[in-house]
Amino acid sequence: MSETINRRGSLRRLAARLEIRMLGLALVVFVTLSLASPFFLQTNNLLNLLDQSVVTGIVSAGMSFVILTGGIDLSVGSVLGVTAVLMGLAMPHAGILGGVFVAIAAGAGIGLFSGVLVARFGLASFVVTLGVMAIGRSLAYIFSGQNSISDLPPGFNDLVYTPILGIPSNVATLLVLYVLAWLYLTFTKGGRTIYAIGSNREAARAAGLNVLAYSILPYIVSGALAAVAGVLLSAQILSIDPLAGTALELDAIAAVVIGGASLAGGRGSIIGTLIGVMIMVMIRNGLNLLGVSPFWQGSAIGAIIIAAVLAERLVSTRTGGG
Amino acid sequence: MAGAAAAKAAALSPSPLLEARGIEKRFGQTHALAGADFDLAGGEVHGLLGANGAGKSTLSRVISGHVRRDGGTLLWRGAAFDPSGPREALAAGIGMVMQETSLAPDLSVLENIFLPDLARPGWLRRGTWRARAEDILAILGQTSSLPLAVEVRRLSAAQRQLVEIAKALAVDAALIIFDEPTASLSPSEVERLFDVMARLRAAGHGLVFVSHRLEEVLAITDRVTVMREGRTVALGLATARLSQADIVRLMVGQELGRIHNARATMDTAAPVLTVRGLAAAPLVRDVSFTLHRGEILGLGGLVGAGRSETLETLFGLRAKTAGDIHLHGRPFAARHPAQAIRAGIAFVPEDRRGQSIVPDFSVRENLLLGHLSAHRGFGLGYRAREARVKALLETLELPQERLLDANMLNFSGGMQQKIILARWLLLGPKVLLLDEPTKGVDIGTRAAIYAMLRDAADAGTAILVVSSDFEELLGLCARIVVISDGTTSAEMASAVLDEAKLTLFAAPRSSMAATTRLLGELAEETGGAAFWALRDGGRLFCLARAGGAGEADPGFATGATPLFSETRIAAALGAAAGEAQARFIAEPDGGPHTLLIPVRSHRGHDFGVIGVSVARPPLPDAAAIARRVGDLVTRQM
């Protein structure tokens, strides 16, 4: 008797975990699309899904860090664009790895700039990153001379498609970054400090945590990961467009929110974000397979985002879990 | 105005305004109300008491429509009443003055008073509002204390409360619930609030007074209802026939030993923290004290005197603008809390929800938050603390299972405070700073917190406690430092103090600057000492002193509390007061000649004496000095 109660209790605890609920939602989307389109389950398409989730996924991981502190980073898309352009300009002189290094360093530097303005000078992250978004895109045009850069070394492409343990290296990069992010946010002082800041900044300060440093760090992570995503995107298509990454911030924010994070900070998980990314990518992919007009896709995705978050809110208020 | 008339009618009728029987309310697993009874007549102040979690807040919120009951009957003016929300309750004439005010800070006082009017269709009638607001303030006897055009964010806590009360009256509320209304008020503001409440009672309103402060309950209420574990254990007892001990017994359900008894022993040879002339603009001006190993030192004073800010400065949350701090004999100034924590200082802030609790963290992580900031590694290092956490939970009598993974917000204020205290005790601090450690904590848990603090002090921790509850300070601390207007006004043994004297030292004195100036002038002109002191029971309480080195030294400094015989001017102090002509009195043993001039306010309140001591004749003109003291009183007091 008491054992059944215990088992029911642990089941309930499991269901109360947000990641589990979102995983359930992802499964529902997966099954629905499998039934709706005969092409969805084909190996090629599944590989395609993974491939498509790399860029959004990596940017969303960085976005999770920022949102966990209660901030937001609107500049990720244009940071991706401008760092990719810088990489393209550097690559003929510095080689492939040199170019990659330039991009990531530039991304981290831009993140540091936004982070200092937000954390040290108390400006609203929305406003700061909105400004950086505009500046980044404008610089991407100026540096690239309004043209795509396509004279990239052919070996650059290997960065994406060399298999590691049978997995394409861009997907492997995505998974490794998520594992590292999860370990960092769950098992390190810095990770827990980021959560504490988002949950109650004053309490974190009064407990002596380094609020300034760990309020800046997420912006650096976000900028650097946007650059990493830009590297992989450029390597994938062997061309760099100054327009690359446009509107990517919206997909990233949507993925984080679908993954259960609170925009007020302190609540959310990196696993949830990954699930959110998968849901977003599956829906986009499924709508394409079903031949839905691209003009309607925006409405469909917007409606699904709102519905997912609303359903989550209704469920979590009823079970009292978060 | 119809409602006010009805309220008066209700006061005359014998039937109660409100009657609640067997009210039930569940929140998830918690049975917050399990058969609560209550009634209220017009023209009375009814105290609603209980330990934290007893259900008094839930019951008030059921009555005010903020919470919907699950069961039981509620009669309002004899008719069944089931408000669907606070608006409906308000429309029926039930208002609530909340602990945390529900005002819109950016709107003006007038707009806030008539906020419910915004829900009505049609144009706003500001002219009518203003006239009605003035009527209401006149009823409250507060005509000049509320500027109607000012935004609420610029008001003091007491003024905001007044706005809340006016807001309730604006909708003709016949019943007003006051939920812990005095928590952030100074004694004089409490007096004014009680004056307002008495006027409302006289006008036939029924008032519910929810409070932890027993003295206040005894002072203002006509009847009390006591709750325990969601049930009413005593319904409508006449306050006049109860003592504090009776109420405490009903609240906790058992006889408590005297809450304050043994005092921690301190090691006067081992000063841990020495503070001299500390200032942190704008509130901390000149604070000095010494804290010893194993001591519990009280930091008394009124809200706004700079007590919290003093603690925050010591802990590195606020920048020091002047003064010296020595920790273990070495100069110390924390620029941020992490530095203070590494030096062995811990700080429990006043606002638990705002400054201590991380709501999205489990109890375990909240408990380990101090550890996390003291921890130097990259990882968490939680495991290394596991045994210590376990031992600590045991001594705190906290249930270990399930507690650690639970949400912090599910617990009562007292439990939360124990956990926050445990967060810091876990680090084994050398100095523990506490700001209002028992605010919003029930009496039973208070005793446990006092015991925790004494144990920590016995183990050698030096503890500094800020509290507005003077009785608590006197019971807990062997010595008390009093701060008034950001300046140390006294440092003395609590054995010679009582609440009245502590209040005297703590009272911010607008006259202090002028008085100090006069003392300085007198000291310089006479070449002797000038002081302002109170006399009580053969003891002198020196509020301020200037000048008087060497032979003119009267034998006490600012903040000292010597017996008359311990000073150098015993004969003068002992001489019969009230002599028609003020004159200098010589000490038989060749001590200084001293003139004492009584200070009385124009209302006749005793403000002590101003004294001048000179080493030897020629004596200054006593009458001239008396005249100047008289001038000071007319201008300043």
On whether both B464 and B538 belong to a single domain, the answer is: no
Which of B473, B505, B537 corresponds to the end of one domain?
B505
The half-sphere exposure of B621 on its side-chain side, counting CA atoms within 13 A, is 4
Q: Give the residue numbers spanning the domain of A151.
A: 20-317
Res. B503: pLDDT tops 80: no
Res. A189: pLDDT tops 90: yes
**Chain A contacts of B350, Cβ < 8 Å?**
none
Mean pLDDT along residues A135-156: 91
What pLDDT is recorded for position B538?
77
Nearest to A200 among B338, B347, B358 (CB): B358
CB–CB contact A205 B28 (8 Å):
no
- Which residues of B fall below an 8 Å CB-CB distance to A? 28, 315, 317, 336-338, 340-341, 347, 349, 354-361, 365, 369-370, 372-375, 377-381, 423
Closest-CA distance of chain B to residue A10, Å = 13
Q: Could you tell me if residue A157 is inside a domain? A: yes
On whether both B47 and B171 belong to a single domain, the answer is: yes
Q: Are B490 and B539 in contact (CB under 8 A)?
A: no
What pLDDT is recorded for position B101?
64
What pLDDT is recorded for position A317?
61
**Chain A contacts of B337, Cβ < 8 Å?**
205-208
Choose the weakest-confidence range: B356-360, B503-507, B536-540.
Answer: B503-507
On whether both B420 and B531 belong to a single domain, the answer is: no
Res. B499: pLDDT tops 70: no
**Chain A contacts of B402, Cβ < 8 Å?**
none
CB–CB contact A199 B347 (8 Å):
no
Q: Are B260 and B475 in contact (CB under 8 A)?
A: yes
Which of B505, B531, B548 corresponds to the end of one domain?
B505
What are the tokens at A319? 């079970």
Mean pLDDT along residues B289-296: 91
Q: What percent of chain B has pLDDT over 90?
A: 22
Q: Could you tell me if residue A322 is inside a domain? A: no
Q: Are B561 and B542 in contact (CB under 8 A)?
A: yes
Res. B264: pLDDT tops 50: no
Mean pLDDT along residues B570-582: 67
CB–CB contact A200 B359 (8 Å):
yes
Nearest to A207 among B370, B379, B380 (CB): B370
**Chain A contacts of B406, Cβ < 8 Å?**
none
Average pLDDT, chain B: 82
Closest-CA distance of chain B to residue A297, Å = 36
- If you average pLDDT over each of A37-41, B34-38, B571-575, which comes out highest? B34-38
Mean pLDDT along residues A2-10: 46
On whether both B193 and B240 belong to a single domain, the answer is: yes
**Chain A contacts of B359, Cβ < 8 Å?**
199-200, 266
Nearest to A203 among B357, B377, B381 (CB): B357
CB–CB contact B357 A200 (8 Å):
yes
Provide the pLDDT confidence category of residue B187 given band limits of 50, 70 and 90: low
Q: Tell me the CATH number at A187.
A: 1.10.3470
Q: Is pLDDT larger for residue B603 or for residue A19?
A: A19
Res. B6: pLDDT tops 50: no
CB–CB contact A208 B373 (8 Å):
yes
User: Cβ contacts of residue A182 below 8 Å, gap of 6+?
Assistant: A269, A270, A271
Q: Could you tell me if residue A113 is inside a domain? A: yes
Nearest to A209 among B359, B372, B380 (CB): B372
Q: Which of A186, A195, A200, A211 to mutate to test the interface with B (most CBs of B within 10 A)?
A: A200
- Give the chain B residue whose CA is nearest to the CA of A261: B360
- Of A66, A50, A105, nearest to A230 (Cα)? A105
**Chain A contacts of B357, Cβ < 8 Å?**
200, 203
Nearest to A204 among B28, B358, B377 (CB): B358
On whether both B488 and B518 belong to a single domain, the answer is: no
On whether both B427 and B549 belong to a single domain, the answer is: no
Provide the pLDDT confidence category of residue B356 given band limits of 50, 70 and 90: very high
**Chain B contacts of A185, Cβ < 8 Å?**
none
Mean pLDDT along residues A196-222: 95
Choose the weakest-confidence range: A239-248, B18-27, B159-168, B359-368.
Answer: B159-168
Closest-CA distance of chain A to residue B318, Å = 11
- If you average pLDDT over each of A7-11, B225-229, B298-302, B459-463, which comes out highest? B459-463
- What is the per-residue pLDDT across B512-569, written as a single tens digit (0 to 9) for each? 667 788 888 888 888 888 988 877 777 787 878 888 777 778 888 877 778 888 888 8
Mean pLDDT along residues A287-292: 90
**Chain A contacts of B315, Cβ < 8 Å?**
206
Provide the pLDDT confidence category of residue A106 given band limits of 50, 70 and 90: very high
Closest-CA distance of chain A to residue B360, Å = 6
Provide the pLDDT confidence category of residue B206 given band limits of 50, 70 and 90: very high
Q: Could you tell me if residue A148 is inside a domain? A: yes
Q: Could you tell me if residue B257 is inside a domain? A: no
Beta pairing class for B30-40 and B18-27: antiparallel
CB–CB contact B359 A266 (8 Å):
yes
Nearest to A203 among B315, B356, B381 (CB): B356
- If you average pLDDT over each of A111-125, B146-160, B256-270, B295-309, which comes out highest? A111-125
Choose the weakest-confidence range: A27-36, A131-140, B7-16, B150-159.
Answer: B7-16
Distance between CA atoms of residues B11 and B21, nearest Å? 21
Which of B505, B522, B541 corresponds to the end of one domain?
B505
Q: Are A87 and A244 in contact (CB under 8 A)?
A: no
Provide the pLDDT confidence category of residue B378 given band limits of 50, 70 and 90: confident
Q: Could you tell me if residue A227 is inside a domain? A: yes
Nearest to A206 among B28, B337, B378 (CB): B337
Mean pLDDT along residues B87-107: 83
Q: Could you tell me if residue B167 is inside a domain? A: yes
Q: Tell me the CATH number at B286.
A: 3.40.50.300
What pLDDT is recorded for position B29?
62
On whether both B513 and B501 belong to a single domain, the answer is: no
What pLDDT is recorded for position B182?
77
Residue labelled with tokens 């498609």: A161
CB–CB contact A203 B377 (8 Å):
no
Closest-CA distance of chain B to residue A206, Å = 6
CA distances from B566 to A144, B495, B501, B559, B571 (A): 88, 16, 19, 15, 11
- What is the per-residue pLDDT across B7-33, written as a single tens digit (0 to 9) for each? 444 444 446 899 999 999 987 666 789
Choose the weakest-confidence range: B175-184, B281-290, B376-385, B510-519.
Answer: B510-519
- Give the chain B residue whose CA is nearest to the CA of A322: B360
Provide the pLDDT confidence category of residue B415 given band limits of 50, 70 and 90: confident
Domain count, chain A: 1
What pLDDT is recorded for position B164?
86
Q: Could you tell me if residue B517 is inside a domain? A: yes
Q: Which of A209, A215, A318 to mutate to test the interface with B (most CBs of B within 10 A)?
A: A209
Q: Which of B26, B314, B369 to mutate to test the interface with A (most CBs of A within 10 A)?
A: B369
What pLDDT is recorded for position B267?
59
Q: Could you tell me if residue B262 is inside a domain? A: no
Q: Tell me the CATH number at B531.
A: 3.30.450.40
Choose the weakest-confidence range: B23-32, B396-405, B450-459.
Answer: B396-405
On whether both B519 and B498 belong to a single domain, the answer is: no
Choose the weakest-confidence range: A178-192, A251-265, A267-281, B237-251.
Answer: B237-251
On whether both B226 and B324 belong to a single domain, the answer is: no
Closest-CA distance of chain B to residue A269, Å = 12
Nearest to B349 among A195, A206, A322 (CB): A206
CB–CB contact A208 B340 (8 Å):
yes
Mean pLDDT along residues B82-88: 87
On whether both B186 and B287 belong to a single domain, the answer is: no
On whether both B436 and B288 belong to a single domain, the answer is: yes
Q: Give the residue numbers spanning the domain of B625.
A: 509-636
- Of A276, A285, A282, nearest to A305 (Cα)? A276
Q: Could you tell me if residue A166 is inside a domain? A: yes
Q: Could you tell me if residue A27 is inside a domain? A: yes
Query: Which DSSP string do the residues of B92-113 spell out, in sequence order?
Result: HTEEEE-SS----TTSBHHHHH
CB–CB contact B369 A266 (8 Å):
no
Q: Could you tell me if residue A249 is inside a domain? A: yes
What pLDDT is recorded for position B579?
54
Domain count, chain B: 3
Nearest to A189 among B28, B315, B372 (CB): B372
**Chain A contacts of B317, Cβ < 8 Å?**
205-206
3-state secondary structure of B177: strand
Q: What percent of chain B has pLDDT over 70?
A: 86
3-state secondary structure of B490: strand
CB–CB contact A266 B358 (8 Å):
yes
**Chain A contacts of B372, Cβ < 8 Å?**
189, 192-193, 196, 207, 209
Res. A213: pLDDT tops 90: yes
- Give the chain B residue whose CA is nearest to the CA of A264: B360
Choose the weakest-confidence range: A137-141, B99-103, B247-251.
Answer: B99-103
On whether both B531 and B493 belong to a single domain, the answer is: no
Closest-CA distance of chain B to residue A313, Å = 16
What pLDDT is recorded for position A78?
97
Closest-CA distance of chain A to residue B254, Å = 35
Q: Find the Cα–Cα–Cα–Cα dihedral B470, B475, B481, B483, rounded to 10°.
A: -10
Provide the pLDDT confidence category of residue A314 given band limits of 50, 70 and 90: confident
CB–CB contact B370 A202 (8 Å):
no
What pLDDT is recorded for position B9?
42
